[in-house]
Amino acid sequence: TDDILKNVVSHAKEYGFVFPSSEIYDGLSAVYDYGQLGSELKNNIKTYWWKSMVQLNENIVGIDSAIFMHPKIWKASGHVDGFNDPMIDNKDSKKRYRADQLIEDKITRYERDGKTDKAAQLQNDLDQAIKDDDLGRLKAIIEDHGIVCPISGTKNWTDVRQFNLMFSTKMGATAEGAEDVYLRPETAQGIFVNFLNVQKSGRMRIPFGIAQIGKAFRNEVIARQFIMRMREFEQMEMQFFVRPGTEMEWYEKWKAARLKWHLALGSNSERYRFHDHVKPAHYANAAVDIEFDFPFGFKEVEGIHSRTDFDLKQHQEFSGKKMQFFDPEINQSYIPYVIETSIGLDRMFLTVLCNAFEEQDLSTEDKKDSRTVLHIHPALAPVKAAILPLTKKDGLPEKARELMDELKLDFNIQYDEKDSIGKRYRRQDAIGTPICITIDHQTLEDNTVTLRHRDSMEQERVKLDDINGILQKTTGW
């Protein structure tokens, strides 16, 4: 199964989806660049999220707050003191790990070996240790289960210590006047500190939500599994402000709505599951993850958290500004409670690739054949259609260009006249293009073309005039 991830990673690079950052300088750990197709796919995922959260919900609006924020914000939010991961070093390899991840990997191995009781027991122990903030217990678990360093293969571990994940830098021109600022580790705080601005300027009434897509930065203890755990990544977060006492109702609603959003892409529902947190983060009273069955096991893609009034209350205290809403329906002022939905754009991207990637055997009795195809949902596909003149002569390229010039106003289209038509179909399959349009000699006579469908590989003859409509229908939301 790790091979599947390897194949996805190399496919993503070969076709221009994801490149390691600074590659000609041997890369920068856990930082990646999105290529020409990756950035299209990423934009389409953002659009899918933005449309379904902001456009389809009259009581949710979107903002775009700055990455730099007043440093006091991170004191108030608890990140300066509490945004830590438990880390442990192996004394032989000198490699550093996250203690909880080493244990989670062991759980995955128990699950794979069919030792479900052992896996469940270990999950319980881990949850309990995290709940109690018991670093000694984490170390004991690692020792009891004989967990070895993946590099050195030894059990020679240091004690478990806390490690703060925030990046900091200096703001200001002169060294004396410079102030320490942080790169935001989550986009949520930009929403909380703008709560009143948006509420007043947008005349919002509770319940309402504020959404945002943007970069976040975390100095992850260990980088691994491709774009799963990056040091610079993107989040799509929505904070939903509700009347105190109604938060659990909204928590359940958003939990269901968010799973539905994932499944609406046509993905296999068995690859998704909920994982409840026994110990929600310092700001929450309930939390659940939506997990996806990655090639390396079920892992979090999205978190839904009931954040109570923790953040707004902290900001009220630290800023000295009232963070209250006057609710005309009950004639009362209060600090709203908050339900958060928080999804990693890059992890979402990886689920799309993992769901879509297939190495398909097309062999018949007398001929061996195969193709690599990305069954990406047509609305997310980076290229919506490819226009392929059958030959490079007889006026076919000109006819194809005419169609290209019309369609490119509405869709991201590729034009390709190199190599045999079969090879060109395979190239489009490999990048997930749902439709290929072939212009041949008959097109010049009767204005019909061959449409070839990615998933079924079926072909049909359609009128040129119908193509725009067909593309709207196939690739629209």
Report the residue number, 157 or 294, with the smaller CB distance to ligand ATP: 294
Rounded to a whole number of angstroms, the minimum distance from the CB of residue 285 to ligand ATP is 15
Q: Which residues contact 196 (CB under 8 A, 6 or more apart)?
A: 321, 323
Query: Contacting ligand ATP (CB under 6 A), which of 343, 385, 413, 436?
Result: 343
Q: Please tell me whether 252 is known to bind a ligand.
A: no
- Pattern of binders to ligand ATP over 281-300, x per CB under 6 A? -------------------x
Residue of 440, 477, 475, 476 whose CA lies nearest to 461: 440
CA distance 267 to 32: 26
Q: Please tell me whether 362 is known to bind a ligand.
A: no
Distance of CA 175 to the CA centre of its chain: 38
CA distance 336 to 271: 35
CA distance 432 to 435: 9
**Contact by Cβ (8 Å): 64, 54:** no
Tokens 């939301």 belong to: 477
CA distance 216 to 347: 13
Report the residue number, 124 or 156, with the smaller CB distance to ligand ATP: 124
Tokens 């300066």 belong to: 80
Cis link prior to 207 (omega < 30° from 0)? yes
Query: Contacting ligand ATP (CB under 6 A), which of 17, 34, 48, 233?
Result: 233
Report the residue number, 30 or 119, with the smaller CB distance to ligand ATP: 30
Q: Please tell me whether 174 is known to bind a ligand.
A: no
- Which residues ranging from 5 to 64 are in contact with ligand ATP (CB under 6 A)? none
Report the residue number, 257 or 457, with the smaller CB distance to ligand ATP: 257
8: which 2 tokens? 């996805």
CA distance 292 to 319: 39
Contact segment (CB under 6 A) with ligand ATP among 226-234, 268-276, 325-333, 405-413 equals: 226-234
- Pattern of binders to ligand ATP over 436-465, x per CB under 6 A? ------------------------------
Rounded to a whole number of angstroms, the minimum distance from the CB of residue 392 to ligand ATP is 44
**Which secondary structure element, helix H or strand E, spans residue 363, and what is its range?**
none
CA distance 302 to 312: 22
Phi, psi of 286 (to 5 degrees): -160, 145
Q: Does 235 bind ligand ATP (CB under 6 A)?
A: yes
Phi, psi of 351 (to 5 degrees): -65, -40
Q: Please tell me whether 291 is known to bind a ligand.
A: no
Q: Please tell me whether 247 is known to bind a ligand.
A: no
Report the residue number, 312 or 348, with the smaller CB distance to ligand ATP: 348
**Contact by Cβ (8 Å): 93, 149:** yes
Contact segment (CB under 6 A) with ligand ATP among 88-96, 140-148, 229-237, 394-402 equals: 229-237
DSSP state letters, 279-303: S--TT-SEEEEEEEEETTEEEEEEE
Q: Does 258 bind ligand ATP (CB under 6 A)?
A: no
Rounded to a whole number of angstroms, the minimum distance from the CB of residue 29 to ligand ATP is 12
**Contact by Cβ (8 Å): 280, 94:** no
Q: Please tell me whether 355 is known to bind a ligand.
A: no
**Contact by Cβ (8 Å): 178, 170:** yes
Rounded to a whole number of angstroms, the minimum distance from the CB of residue 35 to ligand ATP is 18
Residue nearest to ligand ATP (CB): 344
Report the residue number, 206 or 343, with the smaller CB distance to ligand ATP: 343
Q: Please tell me whether 134 is known to bind a ligand.
A: no
Rounded to a whole number of angstroms, the minimum distance from the CB of residue 270 to ligand ATP is 20
Query: Contacting ligand ATP (CB under 6 A), which of 301, 387, 388, 404?
Result: 301
Report the residue number, 181 or 301, with the smaller CB distance to ligand ATP: 301
Query: Contacting ligand ATP (CB under 6 A), which of 38, 214, 303, 336?
Result: 303
CA end-to-end span of the chain: 32
Q: Please tell me whether 320 is known to bind a ligand.
A: no
Residue of 84, 86, 85 whose CA lies nearest to 160: 86
Residue of 449, 453, 450, 446 whose CA lies nearest to 473: 453
Rounded to a whole number of angstroms, the minimum distance from the CB of residue 174 to ligand ATP is 33
Q: Which residues contact 114 (CB under 8 A, 6 or more apart)?
A: none
**Contact by Cβ (8 Å): 323, 195:** yes
How many residues of this chain interact with ligand ATP, rule: CB under 6 A? 15
Report the residue number, 235 or 433, with the smaller CB distance to ligand ATP: 235
CA distances from 428 to 276, 297, 352, 451, 452 (A): 40, 29, 17, 13, 11
Tokens 């703001």 belong to: 171
Q: Does 340 bind ligand ATP (CB under 6 A)?
A: no
Q: Which residues are annotated as part of the binding site?
A: 98, 186, 218-220, 233-237, 300-301, 340-347
Q: Which residues are annotated as part of the binding site for ATP?
A: 218-220, 300-301, 344-347
Binding site for ligand ATP (CB under 6 A): 218, 220, 229-230, 233, 235, 300-303, 342-344, 346-347
